[in-house]
Structure 1
Amino acid sequence: MKTLISALLLGACATAASAQTGNPGGPINDHLGDYDYGVCRGVDPVCYHDWARAPVKQYRVLLYTHTAGPRHANLGTPLAPGLNPALAENNVVQREMLRIAGENGWAIDYTEDPSQMANLSGYNAVIFISTSREALDDTGKTALRQYIRAGGGFVAIHNAFGTLYNWPWYEGLLGNANFYDHGPARPADVVVVDGKNAATKGLPARWRFHDEWYNLVPFPTKVRFLATVDEKSWGAGDVRAEPLPIGAPNGPRPANLPPLSRYPSVVGRSPGHGSFHPVAWCQYYDGGKVFATTLGHDAKAFEKDGEPGASQFQSLIVGGIKSVMGAEPFCR
């Protein structure tokens, strides 16, 4: 019996390994995981729950920026509890998203209060921008899952990938992807690989942008890839003095992070994703629509007339938001 069980386990492992081959970017991405989250997901609209809903008089979005761990500087001072609290001058993301919503005729609420996430049914899109760690309590997790299952739209931007690491359903929501690490923030070329999507239409085939270029484990699967970063374009120059990733050997480090190990790392560090390093994609997931991008580290990326590539980045996220809301065709 033990021999039979061992043979079955070995066969299952071989099947799983073979299922994880063939990812774009070369062998480096072949064994980063393609998990089964127990839901319908992918680019087929059969995974969307197109249930009866009220007609849209004005699109309404909810911006969530709660951080329970590292906090990106572009979020500014933590917000007071409640919905739509007063903003400080350094709350760049929230202020600029108010501008973007106004320019597009959307109503927008914003919050960092987990208690405000208990009922999401009034929103056409829920947007997580650089949230971190355990950003939702159990009530919020349930509300988000039920919102998605009712055909809701979700947008994940930048450190939304550094959020809720230990909730498998959320990892699947991100496209079978999670933040692993990044090198120093630096400029590189974003390459559009699907220019027909609502998020990418009108964008140049290649545009310069400054970011952290997240490495992902797992590597996204069953999604429609929209844009990548050309790793050969980032070079070694023009690196700004910013905090390095967790585990980096030197450089300034945020005070709210634990100290680095006293010993040099003897475990592997992700060197990137080879010839195919995704930075934006879309998918249907558990009844809902998802647009995700790892871009959005710099404050100036959100500002009108900000740094080079800011207008392209903003066009990308606006198109992604429109697509999950139903204002533009989704994921095609």
Structure 2
Amino acid sequence: MTGWLLLLMMLAPSPRLDEGDLPRILVFTRMEGFRHDCVDNGVKALRELAVGQYDIEVTDDPAEFAPGNLSRFDTVVFLNTTGDVLDGPHQDAFEGYMRNGGGFVGVHAAADTEYDWPFYGSLLGGAWFKSHPAVQKATTIVEDPFHPAMSTLPERWERVDEWYEFRANPRGDVNVLASMDESTYSTHESMGDHPIIWTVPVGNGVALYTGGGHTIESFDEPAFRSHLLNSIKWTMDDGWIDLIPSGGFTGWKSVSNWKNVDGASMDSTDRSAVVVGDSDGGILVSQMGDGSHIKSESDFGDVELHLEFMVPEGSNSGVYLQGRYEVQILDSWAKVAPSFGDCGGIYERWDDSRDPKGYEGHPPDVNASRKPGDWQTYDIVFRAPRFDEQGSKIANARFERVLHNGILIHEDLELSGPTRGSLPSPSEVAEGPLMLQGDHGPVAFRNIRIRRIERAD
């Protein structure tokens, strides 16, 4: 990394807005290679979608990629750009913008851009354009229907477009949202496994690439327009995913004995119980405490997680990263010397063949617990275990940071394996679900937000 780039990253303000302002996007349309005649209709669509959602500026001038100017935007959209569109200083400015928390949406020929710029390749997961067949109807398989960019799409999405084939398969380096069913159309050079929409975290920023958008008609299709809007909104929100729906349990499984309600509080007449509202409202509650755990449909590796929880007197719960590594939730108010089993503890591992059976529990550095009935927060940065190509573990899972009610209670804590009560098989994985424990007594959760973060290795 050049000294110039380091200076940009230190000085560039984070692309955030004053409260009440609409977010801003910059649509970049420079074409130094093939010129797509759909760009004007694409710009028209993005302007129409902008109403009430974002302010939009459109340019084909690379001079707009100056650090002081880029910081005005939450997301930059490369709309069918082609060829070498940015020079060295503007490349450095854009990299600094992304690493400092900017957003990127690449549409179609954005993959036919900047072949000799390694950082740009990282936004694409290394998957630059290679070839394509004729424009034709094909089916896209939505692999992650719970991702905000895909939430309005059918599982099998049939449409007409020019279907790119790529120089490399990005799977393994990106989070694949959708792939092509190559049996539904005539390929030029079959990829077999053929991702077509994906995301990748970059520094503090996030990138999304979508392979559609060659034809003029694409930008008139309601489903494609909805996908574009949701992709932009997701990148503007720094890649966060809200895991609790306003009603129902979309995105969750094993939901028996859980409720989605509009209110939850400790019962004033029975302080071990929780009183809940009658309507849907985005608060998940287990009133039974009977061992029924709720799991996210989506799997995650390295993540940043925010959640809020509430327990009445005597209740016991927990949040499991990847369904395997528990941060304990317990009524631990005013406890002087908390153990691994108290609120904020990393629960112990368990082996029936050992004596003692429990081992490697980690108490919180500080007891930051609030009174029973009060809402509390966890803010967690988690690193998943690493595996080689043969599937052998080469690095342990790690809690990089755990804050309880804003107070640091764990830092750089390595775990040799899953904690007690984890999902049984396989023992450890590169990606797994978030699991909320229904253990003993009621528990309520709200404002659960998660985002994938850039790998540290």
Same fold (TM over 0.5): yes
- 1:140 to 1:231, Cα distance in 2 relative to 1, 3 A: same
- TM superposition shift of 1:55: 4.0
- Which of 120, 124, 127 is the equivalent residue of 1:177? 127
2:56 corresponds to 1:108 = yes
- 1:273 corresponds to which letter in structure 2? M
- Secondary structure of 1:199's counterpart equals helix
The percentage of counterpart residues that share the same residue type is 33
1:198 and 1:328 in contact (8 A); partners too: no
1:129-155 deviations in Å (ceiling 9; x for gaps)? 110101112232121111001110111
- Which structure carries more helix by proportion? 1
For residues 164-313 of structure 1, the aligned pairs below 5 Å read 164-220=114-170, 221-235=172-186, 271-274=189-192, 276-303=193-220, 310-313=221-224
- 1:181 corresponds to which letter in structure 2? S
1:208-228 deviations in Å (ceiling 9; x for gaps)? 111111111122132111111
Distance in 1 (CA, whole Å) between partners of 2:123 and 2:238 is: 21
2:41 corresponds to 1:92 = yes
1:193 and 1:227 in contact (8 A); partners too: yes
- Which of 127, 132, 135 is the equivalent residue of 2:82? 132
- TM superposition shift of 1:105: 2.3
Distance in 2 (CA, whole Å) between partners of 1:178 and 1:113 is: 23
User: Which residue number in structure 2 is paired with residue 240 of structure 1?
Assistant: none
User: Which residue number in structure 2 is paired with residue 158 of structure 1?
Assistant: 108
1:72 and 1:297 in contact (8 A); partners too: yes
1:211-253 deviations in Å (ceiling 9; x for gaps)? 11111112213211111111111259xxxxxxxxxxxxxxxxx
- TM superposition shift of 1:279: 0.9
Distance in 2 (CA, whole Å) between partners of 1:277 and 1:287 is: 27
1:184-213 deviations in Å (ceiling 9; x for gaps)? 111101111100101011311112111111
User: Which residue number in structure 1 is paired with residue 28 of structure 2?
Assistant: 64
- 1:111 corresponds to which letter in structure 2? T
2:278 corresponds to 1:314 = no
- Which of 26, 32, 38 is the equivalent residue of 1:74? 38
User: Which residue number in structure 2 is paired with residue 323 of structure 1?
Assistant: 234
2:205 and 2:238 in contact (8 A); partners too: no
2:77 and 2:105 in contact (8 A); partners too: yes
**TM-score normalised per structure 1:** 0.65
- Secondary structure of 2:35's counterpart equals coil
1:15-39 deviations in Å (ceiling 9; x for gaps)? xxxxxxxxxxxxxxxxxxxxxx9xx
Distance in 1 (CA, whole Å) between partners of 2:50 and 2:239 is: 15
Distance in 1 (CA, whole Å) between partners of 2:72 and 2:226 is: 25
Distance in 1 (CA, whole Å) between partners of 2:156 and 2:76 is: 28
Distance in 1 (CA, whole Å) between partners of 2:186 and 2:238 is: 38
Aligned length: 230
Distance in 2 (CA, whole Å) between partners of 1:58 and 1:95 is: 19
Distance in 1 (CA, whole Å) between partners of 2:215 and 2:198 is: 20
Identify which of structures 1 and 2 has the higher relative contact order when contacts are C-alpha pairs closer than 8 Å and 6+ apart.
1
Distance in 2 (CA, whole Å) between partners of 1:218 and 1:235 is: 19
Distance in 2 (CA, whole Å) between partners of 1:202 and 1:223 is: 21
